[in-house]
Amino acid sequence: MTGPDRQLLEVRLAQKDLVGILALPVGSVSEFEFTYDPAWLENGYPVSPHLPFNEDIPPRNVRNFLENLIPEGKGLDELLENTTIARANVFALVGRIGTETAGALSFTAPGFQQEASSFRVITDEEMGQRLQNAGLITYWDGRTRLSVAGVQDKLNILEIGDQFGLGEGELCSNTIYKFESGRVPNIVVNEAFTMALARRTLDQVATTRITTFGGVRTLIVDRFDRRYLLDENRVSRRHVIDGCQATNLPSAYKYERQNGDGPDARMYRDGVSLPKLAAVQTNDQLTYHRQLVQWVVFNVLNRNFDAHGKNISFFVGRRGLQLTPFYDLVNIEALYREAEARQDAEALSAQGRDQSTPRFYAMSIGEYEAGTPGNFEDPMTAFALADFANTLGISLERMQLLTLDVINRITQALPYALKEVEEMGLTKAERAHVELCKEIVEAACAEMMEEAKQIPSMKDFL
């Protein structure tokens, strides 16, 4: 079908090089077609393992890739509120935010002319007023500015020197501002502390810092897929995909138990899992698997129950896939304990998980046989870690070495991470929350240390 029978969007890299054409028949919301441009086939690379060169690409693969570019939660609600676009119209939603998706791809109508580069400065006062008035934080100057997935209130922001604001043309965002809401107090300092700890423990972790607008605590995350070039007055962009895109799953499958953690749903385990992530082919599998193990162990030690498939990503280029710096690392246990102390049911469910079972990890560690409920709960035993190692194809001795290394690094890093966030200027409540995070991590390290000692002895049980 051609002409008026199809809707078309041009897919470009950094709004310049034509990657291909996205098409959708009129009257359909799911029969997507994606065709690479001949020049891109000659000189480019597949933008996803599931959108390959020189093969028929199933419509489901295209839809899954696109759907993961769309914001979740309040950001999506605000996007829909200011348009007549239906929630199921992925094509239109991607086109709506198409020049500022995660990474480097843009989706625009044929003949679209890139806007001239401009920088619209936002003052501290303007941002504070917007937050205090509970306005649409993602809707500025007649358009929606959010394009990164997630349920927390976020805003894509361009920082140039000591100014921040909204960019157009070649001046796209290079940071993400994450705002604290009354539903989950202390989440900003929680993430700042956990990320500071991770930067001293894992190979690569996004840079973060704390600020305040109108009394609202805000975490600023430097985007690893963007870099402002002062001499050229533009932002360079690097293509990335998240774990859902890398495993060809929709965002609704970002948790391994895609239907929830309830008793009747636990056996459904078709979402993003550690075996699925381990099977992703990168340009260095040995390094990737080591980093994956370290990420898993770190999340267990920090009781990060929300390390799902959209909280891990990959750079994509001519050399293939490479793990990006880690991000969105939070001590969920500390947030739950404070919520329980307040007896605040709304805060308990604010992370998007089943309130009745809040302490299940997003992915099972070990126990990967079909028809089993998996191993989603603490304590993570020596057998669970050995089973995970067996799935990855690494020796139990190496699994023990990696686990002990993360424990030792975290233990040594705790005082330095604490000092780093204290220098950001903490309130009394925030200081107490960071201490709670520290206590949780210390107890988890002691617990896992005993299990790690037994990992090699699990060989006979596998």
For 281-311, write each residue's pLDDT tens digit. Answer: 999 999 999 999 999 999 999 999 999 999 9
403: nearest Cα among 385, 416, 391: 385
Amino acid found at 313: S
Query: Is 441's pLDDT higher than 80?
Result: yes
pLDDT band at 384 (very low <50, low <70, confident <90, very high): very high
Q: Of the residues 153, 225, 242, 306, which is catalytic?
A: 306
> What pLDDT score does 2 carry?
45
- Cβ–Cβ < 8 Å for 56, 76: no
pLDDT bucket at 151, cuts 50 / 70 / 90: low
Contacts for 108-112 with beta carbons within 8 Å, 24 or more apart? 108/9, 108/10, 108/12, 108/15, 109/8, 109/9, 109/10, 110/8, 110/9, 110/10, 112/10
What is the spatial order of strands in the sheet that 208-213 belongs to? Answer: 118-122, 163-168, 154-160, 175-179, 216-222, 208-213
CB 3 within 8 A of CB 26: no
The residue among 256 and 168 whose pLDDT is bigger is 256
Concatenating the DSSP letter of every residue in 419-441 gives HHHHTTT--HHHHHHHHHHHHHH
3-class DSSP assignment, residue 168: strand
pLDDT tens sequence across 90-147: 999 999 888 778 879 999 999 888 888 999 999 999 999 988 886 678 778 877 776 5
- On whether the CB atoms of residues 324 and 352 are closer than 8 A, the answer is no
| Banded pLDDT at 375 (limits 50, 70, 90) | very high
Single pTM value for the model: 0.93
Residues 6+ apart with CB under 8 A from 198: 205, 298, 326, 329
pLDDT single digits (tens) 199-250: 999 999 999 999 999 999 999 999 999 999 999 999 999 999 999 999 999 9
Whose structure tokens read 């394009």? 147
Average pLDDT over residues 266-287: 97
The three-class DSSP label of residue 8 is strand
pLDDT at 317: 97
Q: What is the pLDDT of residue 397?
A: 98
Q: Is 222 a catalytic residue?
A: no
